[in-house]
Chain A
Amino acid sequence: MADDETPSQTQESSTAREFSANGTSMSTTDVEAKLDKGNIEEAESSLRERLSLNSEEARTLLGRLEYQRGNVEAALRVLDGIDLQAAIQKLQPSSQQAARLVLEGVYLKVKSLQKLGKFAEAAQDCTNILDAVGRIFPQGIPDAQVESKLQEMISKAVELLPELLKQAGKYQEAMAAYRRVLLNPWNLDNDCCGRIQKAFAVFLLHSGLEAGPPSLGAQADGAYVPKNNLEEAILLLLVLMRKIHHGDIQWDPSVLDHLMYALSLCSQTPVLSKQLEELKPGVFHRTERWNLLALCCSVVGQNKAAMNLLRKSLHINERPDDLTALLLAAKICSEDSQLAAEGVGYAQRAIDNAKGVDEHLKGVGLRMLGLCLGKQAKVSSSDFERSRLQNEALKSLDSALSFEQDNPDIIFELGAHYAEQRNLNAALRFAKKYIDITGGSVMKGWRLLALILSAQQRFAEAEVVTDAALDETGKWEQGPLLRLKAKLKVSQSRPMEAIETYRYLLALVQAQRKSSGPMKIDSQVEDDKVKEFEVWYGLAALYSSLSHWKDVEVCVKKAREMKQYSAELKARFKTLFYQMNQLFHLSIHSSQPSSSHGLIDLVDIIDALAMMYEAEMLEHLDIGFMHQERGEIQEALASYINASLLDPFYVPSKVRIGALLSKLGSNSLPVARTLLSDALRIEPTNRKAWYHLGMVHKDDGRLADAIDCLQAASMLEESDPVENFRSIL
């Protein structure tokens, strides 16, 4: 039994072992023979004679021998001969030597009990050791005055106690024991302390037990006290990472992985990025680090930073075939028309590398290829190129679907792509399938279906779908659906019902604004939120179509008030920008981390600014329209141009200016033509642009061109949705 414990023990027992004490030593052979015959007393007395030991000392050595030979039960029998409990009670602070001997005996017993699975008993004895050490060193262990062997034993006992309590299933007590050993001065070395901190962090993270915050009272003294398990675990892991950065303890990859798990659960990946950046070179392969950093950046929407990292790691000299990196890069590119062409390359490489065990990722690669091609098509300058890219995009998405027939994302994307190309029957099929497969849980599915129906001029059905969607949606998320419903009412020439729906929408938007305050971010609904000024402008347009000019003015005025509120945001933006600047300087000079709060505010404010510009553009358009209806052409033109100045790529203002100019006589026809062609380059399915361009051609005498354009316009009219399909992509 002694021989099969561990390799080191086998080696030990094959060579002669020796006892040594008081300057003498003796072979263990005779003693082992006596022990094997069960003669503990004889073994003890021969040790006492040869090494001049007392009974307790001899028994401790014998116990250790039996333990090392793997005879755990025999070790316990030997130790039973000492009244350790009494010995512990008698310990004096003055004699560390005596204390060590007694405590080593107890510790041996603890380890033996542990090996026998008697964890509760072992934990009790281990607690006794720590209590005794507490009595010997009431002020904590002084570094300079403690005997090294005693310290070694204490460190072991400190590390073992919480483990024993866990093994005994006493989780609450283990929690308390961890805090006891970590929050009191036991003079542990860095490695030992680090191991205990890590074990505690893991326990806090995964035991599933909420222990409540540590109660320290006055001890905390202004220091940060975590208030729940997850916070405490993250704090401990960050402390461990700092020790690693400072070289106090060795690099331990599991610390980083535990931290990665914990921080990604809380979506706090910027904190993780910081830790990755601080790692010394060499501990981590650089491409792996870049890829992890890119994932961290992408979680919080820092796509530019993520792309810079991915370009490095996917460089031909690094790891150009890493599938995760390729897919992430393709995904980021698929969301940005400027990057779409680059994304096509990554997606293609991902498809090529999806082999063997990674074969299952081929469909994902194809899907990304389709999305990138579709995005690329949108910025393509020639019609020929655009339709080629669109066809390839559809082909890729189709083959992606053959790999993953029930993948809801692909089904939705196919639906949206077909819709944009006005293949409405195919689009309808996919939109319906998407609703089925997601159980109607995703609002964009309902909106797509309603828009497709509206493009097919099936307004009543579209409204039924919208109502069904409203039923499945919580009231705070109903905004976009109500807006859609109002527009469907307009299309069915029911302006009064549309006004009613707009009013309801207005109440919702206002309640939302009041309940959440102007600056609150709620990521789940923020994307789809209807803005209040939008509703006012929608109403204004509706009233002007009814020639209710008074009401139009009221609505525009209300919308302006919203703009006022945006102006406040603008002022706040300036202050914050200033603060950010300062913080940035501070962080350069003191190497402190910069504030991510500031960053979040900044993102929020940039959103608000974008909203403000949009509001201004809509206002210019509405006022322009009002002037135009009243025959005040110059004023109308001025308003439209103002909108264009805010955003030169804003299609509706281009179309309106183009349309207006086309009516001003032959001198302005070339300008009108340029503007309308521009608008069509950005948005090839804009029916009004085709119509007015047709009229320009007609007035200029190019009848064949005019017919083509008007035909396109009339085809599109039969397939125009009430809101742009792009609004849901």
Chain B
Amino acid sequence: MSSSNPGSPSATATSSSSASSFSSKAHSCIQALSSILSTVPSSVSSSSSLLHDPTISSQISTILRDPDSGSGDNNLCRWLYDTFHSPDPELKLVVLRFVPIIAGIYLSRIALRKSLAGFEAILLALYAHETTARDGQPISVNVPDLTQPSIYHEAKSSVKNQATELNLAVISPTLEPHGTMRSSRRARIVGVALELYYSKISQMPVSSKLEFCEFCDIWATGIQNKPSSSSSSKQKTILLPWELLQPSLRILGHCLLGAHESKKLYEAASMATKSLYERSLHDIDAKAILATSSLLRLEKMALDPKLNVDHTEIGMSLAL
């Protein structure tokens, strides 16, 4: 168990005081977790191993999926909440790793009128973190027109004196502080948690992204394929307003077209994209139709060998 690990090499390898305080934080975190999970392997001794250990994440996932999880007095929710408030950024990642499953189950259970205060506390903590980090400011993007020169292109000199024409696009609006989960702000709060997840997605393990694709599919279709039984159960459809859909599409884009780290992830992402595309047709949501249909076409093109010729290959000549 973790208690045998205070002096393990990975915990003492770093020497700076903040790092060692982090490692003791990680240690107490792991200790707290060992009272919740049935087994914590002795190899798990640092925040990084906590993030990547498959037995830990599968145990946590199982508990989170329990029909009675997520209440206000749930130990695991409390652990996740406390862990997120640790100053160690790596421990925050451990919590973010479970955002897909927390958000997924939370939104799927809204209509059941159960207490979900444990999930809500975590999601509100993520939202508050992002609100502070951004100072409540919106995130915007400039879409340039090409009449002005940029670092990647030249422009006709005749228009050089005119003010640059930029289209300012807000991709994440201003964040108001929220101390409680008001239902009208629920989608936004969960959406911001997904934005936070996306900002760290390159550090997330594949299993976490797979869970996101799974829940994305459930949100879109309302159909849950239970791994234990062959039957699938129909759940209530979840409203997918843009504030929830937009960060989801960014995450899906990454899973589908980012570095191809896993075939399984690619397949899960394809399936989720297809479901979201069909959902966008059901909602006749023009923006979502454009985004999801382009992803589907790109997915097809990525598989077409004719479109993926390697231009860096060496020629067949044997002449000097």
**26 CB-based A-B contacts, threshold 8 Å:** A8-B316, A51-B320, A68-B314, A108-B314, A111-B312, A160-B312, A195-B311, A206-B253, A207-B254, A216-B151, A253-B301, A254-B297, A260-B290, A265-B246, A266-B141, A268-B169, A271-B167, A295-B286, A360-B282, A364-B282, A437-B237, A439-B111, A477-B184, A522-B173, A592-B159, A593-B145
* In the complex, the 4 A-B pairs of residues with the closest C-beta atoms, listed nearest first: A266-B169, A439-B110, A21-B320, A208-B201
Residue A284 CB within 8 A of the other chain:
no
**CA A517 to CA B164, docked complex, whole Å:** 25
Interface stretch among B14-22, B43-51, B71-79, B175-183? B175-183
Q: State how many angstroms separate the Cβ of B106 from the closest Cβ of chain A.
A: 10
Is the Cβ of A242 less than 8 Å from the Cβ of B146? yes
Q: How many residues of B contact A (CB 8 A)?
A: 74
Residue B202 CB within 8 A of the other chain:
yes
A160 partner residues in chain B, CB cutoff 8 A: 312
B12 partner residues in chain A, CB cutoff 8 A: none
A104-123 contacts to B, CB under 8 A, are 107-108, 111
**Interface digits, B222-261 against A, CB 8 Å rule (1 contact, 0 not)?**
1000000000000011010001001001100110111100
B319 partner residues in chain A, CB cutoff 8 A: 19-21, 25
Interface centre among A208, A216, A361 (most CB of B within 10 A): A208
A423-477 contacts to B, CB under 8 A, are 436-443, 471-474, 476-477
**CA A253 to CA B302, docked complex, whole Å:** 12
**CA A242 to CA B159, docked complex, whole Å:** 17
Known contacts A261-B298, A295-B289; is-contact A64 B318 (Cβ 8 Å): yes
Residue B278 CB within 8 A of the other chain:
yes
The listed residue (A324, A360, A368, A441) touching B186 by CB distance below 8 A is A441
Residue B294 CB within 8 A of the other chain:
yes
Is the Cβ of A406 less than 8 Å from the Cβ of B253? no
Instruction: Name A478's closest neighbour in chain B (CB-CB).
Output: B184
Is the Cβ of B144 less than 8 Å from the Cβ of A265? no
Residue B143 CB within 8 A of the other chain:
yes
B254-294 contacts to A, CB under 8 A, are 254, 256-259, 278, 281-284, 286-291, 294
A28 partner residues in chain B, CB cutoff 8 A: 318
Residue A134 CB within 8 A of the other chain:
no
Is the Cβ of B184 less than 8 Å from the Cβ of A265? no
A344-369 contacts to B, CB under 8 A, are 360-361, 363-364, 368
Is the Cβ of A408 less than 8 Å from the Cβ of B237? yes
The listed residue (A228, A270, A438, A471) touching B239 by CB distance below 8 A is A438
Q: Give the interface size bracket for A toward B.
A: 35 or more
Is the Cβ of B318 less than 8 Å from the Cβ of A207? no
Residue A717 CB within 8 A of the other chain:
no
**CA A361 to CA B278, docked complex, whole Å:** 9
**CA A227 to CA B187, docked complex, whole Å:** 28
9 additional A-B residue pairs with CB within 8 Å, beyond A65-B318, A368-B284? A68-B316, A156-B312, A234-B141, A235-B152, A257-B298, A260-B291, A263-B143, A364-B284, A441-B183
Instruction: Name B139's closest neighbour in chain A (CB-CB).
Output: A228
B239 partner residues in chain A, CB cutoff 8 A: 408, 438, 441-442
Residue B148 CB within 8 A of the other chain:
yes
Known contacts A17-B318, A111-B313, A226-B150; is-contact A439 B183 (Cβ 8 Å): yes
Residue A223 CB within 8 A of the other chain:
yes
Q: State how many angstroms separate the Cβ of A126 from the closest Cβ of chain B.
A: 10
Known contacts A61-B318, A235-B144; is-contact A210 B257 (Cβ 8 Å): no
**CA A170 to CA B53, docked complex, whole Å:** 22
Q: State how many angstroms separate the Cβ of A122 from the closest Cβ of chain B.
A: 11
B312 partner residues in chain A, CB cutoff 8 A: 111, 156-157, 159-160, 163
Q: State how many angstroms separate the Cβ of B205 from the closest Cβ of chain A.
A: 13
A45-89 contacts to B, CB under 8 A, are 51, 53, 57, 60-61, 64-65, 67-68
A407 partner residues in chain B, CB cutoff 8 A: 237, 282
**CA A346 to CA B312, docked complex, whole Å:** 51
Q: State how many angstroms separate the Cβ of B148 from the closest Cβ of chain A.
A: 5
Is the Cβ of B291 less than 8 Å from the Cβ of A265? yes
Is the Cβ of A234 less than 8 Å from the Cβ of B259? no
Residue B153 CB within 8 A of the other chain:
yes
**CA A111 to CA B253, docked complex, whole Å:** 29
Q: Chain A residues in contact with chain B, CB under 8 A?
A: 8-9, 12, 17-22, 25, 28, 51, 53, 57, 60-61, 64-65, 67-68, 101, 107-108, 111, 156-157, 159-160, 163, 166, 169, 171, 182-183, 192, 195, 197, 202, 205-210, 214, 216, 219-220, 222-228, 230-231, 234-236, 238-239, 242, 253-254, 257-258, 260-261, 263-272, 292, 295-296, 298-299, 323-324, 327-328, 331, 360-361, 363-364, 368, 404, 406-409, 436-443, 471-474, 476-477, 522, 524, 590, 592-593, 595-597
**Interface digits, B160-197 against A, CB 8 Å rule (1 contact, 0 not)?**
00001101010101001010001111110000000000
A238 partner residues in chain B, CB cutoff 8 A: 144-146
Is the Cβ of A64 less than 8 Å from the Cβ of B298? no
The listed residue (B151, B183, B291) touching A214 by CB distance below 8 A is B151
**CA A296 to CA B237, docked complex, whole Å:** 26
B307 partner residues in chain A, CB cutoff 8 A: 254
B110 partner residues in chain A, CB cutoff 8 A: 439, 441
Known contacts A21-B319, A254-B301, A263-B143; is-contact A269 B287 (Cβ 8 Å): yes
A12 partner residues in chain B, CB cutoff 8 A: 316
Q: State how many angstroms separate the Cβ of B137 from the closest Cβ of chain A.
A: 14
Is the Cβ of B290 less than 8 Å from the Cβ of A292? yes
Is the Cβ of A264 less than 8 Å from the Cβ of B287? yes
B318 partner residues in chain A, CB cutoff 8 A: 17-20, 28, 61, 64-65, 68
Known contacts A18-B318, A19-B318, A224-B148; is-contact A440 B169 (Cβ 8 Å): no
Q: State how many angstroms separate the Cβ of A198 from the closest Cβ of chain B.
A: 11
Is the Cβ of B178 less than 8 Å from the Cβ of A474? yes
The listed residue (A57, A226, A235, A595) touching B320 by CB distance below 8 A is A57
**CA A379 to CA B146, docked complex, whole Å:** 47
**CA A492 to CA B128, docked complex, whole Å:** 41
The listed residue (A208, A265, A593) touching B202 by CB distance below 8 A is A208
Residue B24 CB within 8 A of the other chain:
no
The listed residue (A159, A209, A593) touching B165 by CB distance below 8 A is A593
**CA A408 to CA B281, docked complex, whole Å:** 15
B42 partner residues in chain A, CB cutoff 8 A: none
Q: State how many angstroms separate the Cβ of B21 from the closest Cβ of chain A.
A: 27
The listed residue (A235, A296, A406) touching B222 by CB distance below 8 A is A406
Is the Cβ of A296 less than 8 Å from the Cβ of B290? yes
Is the Cβ of A239 less than 8 Å from the Cβ of B169? no
Instruction: Name A360's closest neighbour in chain B (CB-CB).
Output: B278
B111 partner residues in chain A, CB cutoff 8 A: 436-439
**CA A474 to CA B259, docked complex, whole Å:** 40
Q: State how many angstroms separate the Cβ of B96 from the closest Cβ of chain A.
A: 12
B249 partner residues in chain A, CB cutoff 8 A: 261, 265
